[in-house]
Amino acid sequence: QMPRGNLETIHHRALVLAQVRKWLDGLNFREAFECMRKLRINLNLMYDHNPKVFLENVEIFLRQLDSISHINLFLTELREEDTTTTMYPCLPNSTVPVQPAPGPSGKKVDIVCDALRSTMESMDQHKYCLSILTTHVKKTVPELEVALQKVHELRVNPPSAATAVSAEEALKYLLFLVNVNELYEHSLGTYDFDLVLMVAEKSQKDPKEYLPFLNMLKTLEPNYQRYTIDKHLKRYRKALHHLSKCGEEHFTEALNLVKDQRLYGEALGLYPANSSQYRALSCAYAEYLVAQHQPEQAGLLLWRCGEAARALQAFVGGASWRNALCVAEQIPLPPDQLALLARDLAEKLIELRRYTEAAVLLEQYAKDCEEAISALITGAVWEEALRLVYLYNRQDIIETNLKPALLEGQMMANANENTFVIDVICLAPYCLYEHRFLSLAFSSQTSFLEAQKAMFIRHKTRLAVVRELKEKARLELLDEDVPDCPEAELYSEASSVMTGSHAGSKYSHSNSRISSRSSKNRRKAERKKLSLKEGSPLEDVALLHALTEVIHCVDKMREEVHSLLKALVLFQFDGQAGRLQQAYGEALLLIEAGIPEVWQEGLQPTQAPVTGPNSTANSIMASFQQPRHSVTQESEMPPAPKMRNGVKWKLSILK
Binding site for its own copies (CB under 8 A): 264-265, 268-269, 273, 285, 289, 292, 294, 296-297, 300-301, 303-304, 322-323, 325-326, 329-330, 364, 383-384, 386-387, 389-391, 393, 566, 569-572, 574, 601-602, 611, 615-617, 620-621, 624, 627-628, 631-632, 635, 639-640, 651-655
Do 332 and 312 form a contact (C-beta atoms < 8 A)?
no
Helix (H, G, I), strand (E, B) or coil at 283: helix
Give one word for 247, left, alpha or beta, with left for phi > 0 and alpha for psi -120 to 50.
left
Q: Rounded to whole angstroms, how far apart are CA atoms 264 and 288? A: 9
Helix (H, G, I), strand (E, B) or coil at 205: coil
- Closest-CA residue to 44 (of 113, 142, 105): 113
Give one word for 66, left, alpha or beta, with left for phi > 0 and alpha for psi -120 to 50.
left
For its own copies, the closer CB: 384 or 549: 384
For its own copies, the closer CB: 71 or 301: 301
- To its own copies, the closest distance from the beta carbon of 8 in angstroms equals 35
For its own copies, the closer CB: 391 or 589: 391
- To its own copies, the closest distance from the beta carbon of 132 in angstroms equals 34
Q: Rounded to whole angstroms, how far apart are CA atoms 143 and 611? A: 66
For its own copies, the closer CB: 53 or 352: 352
For its own copies, the closer CB: 305 or 425: 305
For its own copies, the closer CB: 30 or 387: 387
- Measured distance between the N- and C-terminal CA atoms of the chain, rounded to whole angstroms: 102
- To its own copies, the closest distance from the beta carbon of 435 in angstroms equals 15
Q: How many residues does the chain have?
A: 655
What is the CB-side half-sphere exposure of residue 516 using CA atoms within 13 A? 2
- To its own copies, the closest distance from the beta carbon of 543 in angstroms equals 19
- To its own copies, the closest distance from the beta carbon of 213 in angstroms equals 33
For its own copies, the closer CB: 205 or 387: 387
For its own copies, the closer CB: 326 or 340: 326
- Closest-CA residue to 433 (of 447, 443, 448, 446): 448
Do 623 and 478 form a contact (C-beta atoms < 8 A)?
yes
For its own copies, the closer CB: 227 or 285: 285
For its own copies, the closer CB: 42 or 294: 294
For its own copies, the closer CB: 155 or 524: 524
Do 202 and 180 form a contact (C-beta atoms < 8 A)?
yes
- Tell me if the bond preceding 332 is cis, omega within 30° of 0: yes
The CA–CA distances, whole Å, from 67 to 43, 61, 62, 117, 549 equal 15, 11, 8, 15, 70
- To its own copies, the closest distance from the beta carbon of 294 in angstroms equals 6
Q: Rounded to whole angstroms, how far apart are CA atoms 245 and 100? A: 49
430: phi then psi, degrees, rounded to nearest 5:
-95, -5
- To its own copies, the closest distance from the beta carbon of 224 in angstroms equals 27
268: phi then psi, degrees, rounded to nearest 5:
-60, -30
For its own copies, the closer CB: 21 or 527: 527
- To its own copies, the closest distance from the beta carbon of 19 in angstroms equals 28
Q: Which residues contact 55 (CB under 8 A, 6 or more apart)?
A: 103, 104, 111, 115
- To its own copies, the closest distance from the beta carbon of 267 in angstroms equals 12
- To its own copies, the closest distance from the beta carbon of 413 in angstroms equals 27
Longest dimension (CA), the chain: 117
- To its own copies, the closest distance from the beta carbon of 120 in angstroms equals 35
Which residue pairs from 52-57 have beta carbons closer than 8 angstroms and sit at least 24 positions apart in sequence? 52/101, 52/102, 52/103, 53/24, 53/25, 53/27, 54/112, 55/103, 55/104, 55/111, 55/115, 57/27, 57/29
For its own copies, the closer CB: 483 or 602: 602
- To its own copies, the closest distance from the beta carbon of 392 in angstroms equals 9
